[in-house]
Amino acid sequence: MFDCMWRAEEIDLSKDIGHWKSLNDKERHFLKMILAFFAASDGIVLENIGMRFLSEVQLPEARAAYGFQLMMENVHSEVYSLLIDTYIKDEKEKSKLFNALEEFPCIKKKADWSIKWIEDKRSSFAARLVAFACVEGIFFSGAFCSIYWMKKRGLMPGLTFSNELISRDEGMHTDLACLLFSKLNNKLNKQKVREIIKEAVVIEKEFICEALPCKLIGMNAKLMAQYIEFVADRLLV
């Protein structure tokens, strides 16, 4: 993990401004919502690690990994704030994006599902570990994929480079959750694991294919849905 450390200052947004202005209204709307989701969700991940996981995990190596993850999630939050601050000049619109949970129902639905697991006092650590593997492995998948699509079009180099770094980090965080799950003595039964993952898949498909349709930037919604299922299947392996 430590070898993958990076800083927000490494992201060069100098070319993005011109590209941002060249996008059409639908493309800008799509990216605004993606950035709003990113900004909101990183705070939820931070809260879960700080409030629950760090106090529950006893394995020294796992605690060290979560400590490093906390630091990197803060870097992600800094980058998302920087992106919104750079692209959005209207202060009212910027404020809406930074308060996405109150402003956008489609983002709130994903957040509510995540927060439910933080506040759940009855579910086992194993169940909550699976849920947050879904948050980082599934809830980010459609957004990451859509930004890679922008890269394929040669657009927004600063955004797409930050996406490469952050998606790599989130992949490691998901792998950490899967590794910890494999070490648990009291594992969750397979049916419950599938139920949690299926819930996350349904919510992510609704978000990226319907509420915030990826077709706005020219992506195929059917293929996006298949990709989300593929990502979920990988968690089940």
Tokens at residue 153, please? 């079009």
Task: Name the burial class of residue 59, with classes exposed (0-12), middle (13-18) and buried (19+) by CB atoms within 10 angstroms of its CB.
Answer: exposed
Give me the catalytic one of 66, 80, 87, 148. 80
C-alpha to C-alpha distance for 233 and 230, rounded to whole angstroms? 5
Find the radius of gyration of the CA atoms of the chain. 17
To the query of whether residue 87 is one of the catalytic residues in this protein, the response is no
C-alpha to C-alpha distance for 162 and 145, rounded to whole angstroms? 13
SS3 content of the chain, % helix, strand, coil (to 5): 80, 0, 20
Yes or no: say if 92 and 26 are a contact pair by the CB < 8 Å rule: no
Torsion over CA: 174, 179, 180, 184 (sign)? positive
> CB neighbours of 72 closer than 8 A, spacing ≥ 6?
5, 169
Q: Which residue reads 């870097």 in tokens?
A: 75
Q: Looking at the annotation, which residues are catalytic?
A: 80
